Protein backbone atom coordinates (compact mmCIF):
# COMPACT_ATOMS: atom_id res chain seq x y z
CA UNK A 1 0.00 0.00 0.00
CA UNK A 2 2.99 2.31 -0.08
CA UNK A 3 4.93 4.15 2.55
CA UNK A 4 3.98 6.86 4.98
CA UNK A 5 6.09 9.98 5.28
CA UNK A 6 7.56 10.63 8.69
CA UNK A 7 6.99 13.97 10.37
CA UNK A 8 9.83 16.39 9.78
CA UNK A 9 11.71 16.68 13.06
CA UNK A 10 11.85 20.42 12.55
CA UNK A 11 8.09 20.76 12.50
CA UNK A 12 5.88 21.90 9.67
CA UNK A 13 3.13 24.23 8.58
CA UNK A 14 0.53 22.29 10.58
CA UNK A 15 2.68 21.61 13.63
CA UNK A 16 0.55 21.12 16.75
CA UNK A 17 -2.75 21.21 14.87
CA UNK A 18 -5.47 18.57 15.13
CA UNK A 19 -7.01 17.73 11.75
CA UNK A 20 -10.06 15.65 10.85
CA UNK A 21 -10.20 14.21 7.34
CA UNK A 22 -13.36 12.46 6.19
CA UNK A 23 -12.85 9.72 3.62
CA UNK A 24 -9.17 9.71 4.49
CA UNK A 25 -8.32 6.08 3.80
CA UNK A 26 -7.56 6.16 0.09
CA UNK A 27 -7.00 8.34 -2.94
CA UNK A 28 -6.98 12.08 -2.37
CA UNK A 29 -8.05 11.66 1.25
CA UNK A 30 -5.11 9.43 2.08
CA UNK A 31 -2.69 11.77 0.31
CA UNK A 32 -4.04 14.66 2.38
CA UNK A 33 -3.66 12.65 5.59
CA UNK A 34 -0.07 11.75 4.74
CA UNK A 35 0.86 15.32 3.80
CA UNK A 36 -0.78 16.72 6.93
CA UNK A 37 1.25 14.27 9.01
CA UNK A 38 4.45 15.31 7.24
CA UNK A 39 3.63 18.92 8.15
CA UNK A 40 3.26 18.10 11.85
CA UNK A 41 -0.50 17.64 12.28
CA UNK A 42 -2.22 15.12 14.51
CA UNK A 43 -4.46 13.32 12.02
CA UNK A 44 -7.88 11.81 12.65
CA UNK A 45 -9.22 9.72 9.76
CA UNK A 46 -12.98 9.26 9.67
CA UNK A 47 -14.47 6.82 7.18
CA UNK A 48 -16.80 3.88 6.66
CA UNK A 49 -13.91 1.61 5.65
CA UNK A 50 -12.47 0.58 8.99
CA UNK A 51 -9.86 -1.80 7.55
CA UNK A 52 -8.04 0.41 5.04
CA UNK A 53 -8.67 3.74 6.78
CA UNK A 54 -7.77 2.30 10.16
CA UNK A 55 -4.54 0.95 8.71
CA UNK A 56 -3.61 4.36 7.30
CA UNK A 57 -4.46 6.10 10.58
CA UNK A 58 -2.29 3.64 12.51
CA UNK A 59 0.71 4.17 10.23
CA UNK A 60 0.29 7.91 10.61
CA UNK A 61 0.30 7.63 14.38
CA UNK A 62 -3.18 9.11 14.35
CA UNK A 63 -6.59 7.68 15.05
CA UNK A 64 -9.51 6.22 13.13
CA UNK A 65 -13.17 6.94 13.83
CA UNK A 66 -16.04 5.27 12.03
CA UNK A 67 -18.21 7.80 10.22
CA UNK A 68 -21.07 7.77 7.75
CA UNK A 69 -21.37 11.43 6.74
CA UNK A 70 -25.06 10.90 6.02
CA UNK A 71 -25.68 10.38 9.74
CA UNK A 72 -25.72 13.60 11.75
CA UNK A 73 -25.57 11.78 15.08
CA UNK A 74 -22.44 9.91 13.98
CA UNK A 75 -20.84 13.17 12.89
CA UNK A 76 -21.62 14.74 16.27
CA UNK A 77 -20.17 11.69 18.03
CA UNK A 78 -16.93 11.87 16.00
CA UNK A 79 -16.46 15.56 16.75
CA UNK A 80 -17.23 15.06 20.45
CA UNK A 81 -14.65 12.25 20.58
CA UNK A 82 -12.00 14.48 19.00
CA UNK A 83 -12.67 17.25 21.50
CA UNK A 84 -12.54 14.76 24.37
CA UNK A 85 -9.30 13.14 23.16
CA UNK A 86 -7.44 16.23 21.94
CA UNK A 87 -9.23 19.21 23.44
CA UNK A 88 -9.33 21.02 20.12
CA UNK A 89 -10.05 20.86 16.40
CA UNK A 90 -8.02 23.10 14.10
CA UNK A 91 -8.62 21.76 10.61
CA UNK A 92 -11.49 19.90 8.95
CA UNK A 93 -11.29 18.45 5.44
CA UNK A 94 -14.64 17.39 4.02
CA UNK A 95 -13.33 14.87 1.51
CA UNK A 96 -15.78 11.95 1.69
CA UNK A 97 -17.76 11.57 -1.51
CA UNK A 98 -18.89 9.25 -4.29
CA UNK A 99 -18.60 9.46 -8.08
CA UNK A 100 -22.30 8.94 -8.64
CA UNK A 101 -21.90 5.93 -10.93
CA UNK A 102 -24.71 3.51 -10.09
CA UNK A 103 -26.14 5.81 -7.40
CA UNK A 104 -29.41 7.72 -7.41
CA UNK A 105 -29.62 11.50 -7.36
CA UNK A 106 -30.71 11.47 -3.71
CA UNK A 107 -27.87 9.15 -2.70
CA UNK A 108 -25.28 11.42 -4.32
CA UNK A 109 -26.75 14.54 -2.71
CA UNK A 110 -26.87 12.84 0.70
CA UNK A 111 -23.12 12.18 0.68
CA UNK A 112 -21.52 14.80 -1.57
CA UNK A 113 -23.67 17.74 -0.51
CA UNK A 114 -25.37 17.10 2.80
CA UNK A 115 -22.24 15.42 4.16
CA UNK A 116 -20.18 18.53 3.43
CA UNK A 117 -22.83 20.85 4.84
CA UNK A 118 -23.07 18.73 7.97
CA UNK A 119 -19.31 18.79 8.45
CA UNK A 120 -19.13 22.55 8.02
CA UNK A 121 -22.08 23.40 10.24
CA UNK A 122 -21.02 21.07 13.05
CA UNK A 123 -17.26 21.55 12.77
CA UNK A 124 -17.04 25.31 12.37
CA UNK A 125 -18.12 26.19 15.93
CA UNK A 126 -15.60 23.74 17.41
CA UNK A 127 -12.77 25.16 15.31
CA UNK A 128 -13.78 28.65 16.43
CA UNK A 129 -13.77 27.53 20.07
CA UNK A 130 -10.28 26.10 19.55
CA UNK A 131 -8.94 29.50 18.57
CA UNK A 132 -9.64 29.44 14.85
CA UNK A 133 -8.47 27.39 11.91
CA UNK A 134 -9.58 26.17 8.53
CA UNK A 135 -12.11 24.04 6.70
CA UNK A 136 -11.30 22.73 3.24
CA UNK A 137 -14.08 21.20 1.14
CA UNK A 138 -13.19 18.87 -1.73
CA UNK A 139 -15.32 19.89 -4.69
CA UNK A 140 -14.50 19.19 -8.35
CA UNK A 141 -14.24 20.69 -11.81
CA UNK A 142 -17.85 19.50 -11.94
CA UNK A 143 -18.56 22.40 -9.59
CA UNK A 144 -18.28 24.86 -12.46
CA UNK A 145 -19.03 22.77 -15.56
CA UNK A 146 -21.64 20.29 -16.72
CA UNK A 147 -21.38 16.89 -18.32
CA UNK A 148 -20.69 14.80 -15.22
CA UNK A 149 -24.20 13.57 -14.51
CA UNK A 150 -27.12 15.33 -12.85
CA UNK A 151 -26.43 14.35 -9.26
CA UNK A 152 -22.65 14.73 -9.28
CA UNK A 153 -22.72 18.06 -11.11
CA UNK A 154 -25.44 19.44 -8.85
CA UNK A 155 -23.70 18.29 -5.67
CA UNK A 156 -20.34 19.81 -6.58
CA UNK A 157 -21.87 23.12 -7.71
CA UNK A 158 -23.61 23.24 -4.33
CA UNK A 159 -20.38 22.53 -2.43
CA UNK A 160 -18.93 25.74 -3.86
CA UNK A 161 -22.00 27.64 -2.71
CA UNK A 162 -21.80 26.15 0.78
CA UNK A 163 -18.12 27.06 0.91
CA UNK A 164 -18.92 30.73 0.29
CA UNK A 165 -21.72 30.82 2.84
CA UNK A 166 -19.63 29.09 5.50
CA UNK A 167 -16.73 31.45 4.78
CA UNK A 168 -19.00 34.35 5.67
CA UNK A 169 -20.18 32.55 8.78
CA UNK A 170 -16.66 31.82 9.94
CA UNK A 171 -14.87 35.04 8.95
CA UNK A 172 -15.36 36.93 12.22
CA UNK A 173 -14.77 33.76 14.24
CA UNK A 174 -11.31 33.03 12.91
CA UNK A 175 -12.36 30.16 10.67
CA UNK A 176 -11.42 30.23 7.00
CA UNK A 177 -13.45 28.04 4.62
CA UNK A 178 -12.21 27.21 1.14
CA UNK A 179 -12.65 24.56 -1.53
CA UNK A 180 -10.34 22.65 -3.83
CA UNK A 181 -11.61 21.59 -7.26
CA UNK A 182 -9.61 18.64 -8.61
CA UNK A 183 -9.69 17.63 -12.23
CA UNK A 184 -8.85 14.11 -13.35
CA UNK A 185 -6.81 12.35 -10.66
CA UNK A 186 -5.20 8.91 -10.53
CA UNK A 187 -7.55 7.34 -7.98
CA UNK A 188 -9.96 4.41 -7.78
CA UNK A 189 -12.67 6.64 -9.25
CA UNK A 190 -10.78 6.92 -12.55
CA UNK A 191 -9.36 3.38 -12.65
CA UNK A 192 -11.85 2.10 -15.23
CA UNK A 193 -11.25 5.08 -17.49
CA UNK A 194 -7.48 4.73 -17.17
CA UNK A 195 -7.69 1.03 -18.08
CA UNK A 196 -9.37 1.85 -21.42
CA UNK A 197 -6.70 3.18 -23.77
CA UNK A 198 -9.14 4.90 -26.13
CA UNK A 199 -11.13 6.50 -23.32
CA UNK A 200 -7.95 7.71 -21.65
CA UNK A 201 -6.63 9.20 -24.89
CA UNK A 202 -9.90 11.08 -25.41
CA UNK A 203 -9.91 12.32 -21.84
CA UNK A 204 -6.35 13.57 -21.91
CA UNK A 205 -7.09 15.62 -25.02
CA UNK A 206 -9.02 17.87 -22.66
CA UNK A 207 -6.04 18.51 -20.39
CA UNK A 208 -3.41 20.98 -21.63
CA UNK A 209 -0.77 19.40 -19.35
CA UNK A 210 -1.57 16.08 -21.03
CA UNK A 211 -1.86 13.87 -17.95
CA UNK A 212 -3.86 13.10 -14.85
CA UNK A 213 -2.69 14.41 -11.50
CA UNK A 214 -1.31 12.34 -8.67
CA UNK A 215 -3.32 12.59 -5.42
CA UNK A 216 -0.40 14.31 -3.67
CA UNK A 217 -0.66 17.21 -6.14
CA UNK A 218 -4.15 17.91 -4.81
CA UNK A 219 -3.10 17.27 -1.22
CA UNK A 220 -0.41 19.96 -1.40
CA UNK A 221 -3.08 22.52 -2.32
CA UNK A 222 -5.25 21.40 0.59
CA UNK A 223 -2.30 21.67 2.98
CA UNK A 224 -1.64 25.22 1.85
CA UNK A 225 -5.26 26.26 2.40
CA UNK A 226 -5.29 24.57 5.81
CA UNK A 227 -2.10 26.31 6.91
CA UNK A 228 -1.44 29.84 8.10
CA UNK A 229 0.32 30.47 4.77
CA UNK A 230 -3.20 30.96 3.38
CA UNK A 231 -4.24 33.29 6.21
CA UNK A 232 -6.01 35.75 3.89
CA UNK A 233 -7.76 33.17 1.71
CA UNK A 234 -11.39 32.38 2.46
CA UNK A 235 -14.43 31.62 0.37
CA UNK A 236 -12.26 30.74 -2.60
CA UNK A 237 -12.14 27.71 -4.90
CA UNK A 238 -8.69 26.53 -5.92
CA UNK A 239 -8.77 24.63 -9.21
CA UNK A 240 -6.18 21.85 -9.68
CA UNK A 241 -6.98 20.52 -13.15
CA UNK A 242 -3.93 20.74 -15.41
CA UNK A 243 -5.60 23.52 -17.36
CA UNK A 244 -8.79 21.56 -18.14
CA UNK A 245 -11.08 24.52 -17.38
CA UNK A 246 -9.32 26.72 -19.93
CA UNK A 247 -11.22 24.90 -22.67
CA UNK A 248 -14.06 23.53 -20.58
CA UNK A 249 -13.84 19.88 -21.59
CA UNK A 250 -14.59 20.03 -25.30
CA UNK A 251 -13.51 16.43 -25.80
CA UNK A 252 -16.10 15.31 -23.27
CA UNK A 253 -18.82 17.09 -25.21
CA UNK A 254 -17.62 15.67 -28.53
CA UNK A 255 -17.58 12.20 -27.04
CA UNK A 256 -21.22 12.74 -26.13
CA UNK A 257 -22.12 13.67 -29.69
CA UNK A 258 -21.65 17.44 -29.59
CA UNK A 259 -19.61 19.49 -32.05
CA UNK A 260 -17.07 21.94 -30.82
CA UNK A 261 -17.68 25.57 -31.77
CA UNK A 262 -14.71 26.46 -33.98
CA UNK A 263 -15.51 30.19 -34.07
Confidence (pLDDT) at 4 = 47
Confidence (pLDDT) at 254 = 59
Q: Percent of the chain scored above 70 by pLDDT?
A: 89
Q: Of these residues, 152, 184, 232, 258, which one is catalytic?
A: 152
Burial of residue 65 (number of CB atoms within 10 Å: 0-12, 13-18, 19+)? buried
Confidence (pLDDT) at 8 = 41
Confidence (pLDDT) at 251 = 59
Kindly list the structural domains of the chain, giving each domain's residue range(s) and its CATH number in brackets, ordered by start.
18-186+212-243 (3.40.50.720)
d(CA 25, CA 64): 9
Confidence (pLDDT) at 49 = 86
Q: Are 39 and 80 in contact (CB under 8 A)?
A: no
pTM score, whole prediction: 0.89
Taken as a whole, the chain contains a residue count of 263
**Full DSSP string of 236-262:** -EEEESTTHHHHT-HHHHHHTTPPP--
Confidence (pLDDT) at 198 = 81
Q: For residue 51, indicate whether it is catalytic.
A: no
Q: Mean pLDDT for each consecutive 10-residue tract of the chain (263 residues)? A: 44 95 94 97 94 90 95 98 98 94 94 98 98 98 90 97 98 98 84 75 86 95 98 97 81 51 42
d(CA 209, CA 124): 36
Amino acid sequence: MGTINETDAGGGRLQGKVALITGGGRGIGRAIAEDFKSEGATVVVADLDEYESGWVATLLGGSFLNLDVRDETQFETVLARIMADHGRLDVLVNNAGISGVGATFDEIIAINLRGVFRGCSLGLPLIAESGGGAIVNIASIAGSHGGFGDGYTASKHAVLGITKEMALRGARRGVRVNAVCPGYIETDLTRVMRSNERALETLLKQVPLGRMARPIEVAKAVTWLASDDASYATGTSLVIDGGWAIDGGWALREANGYLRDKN
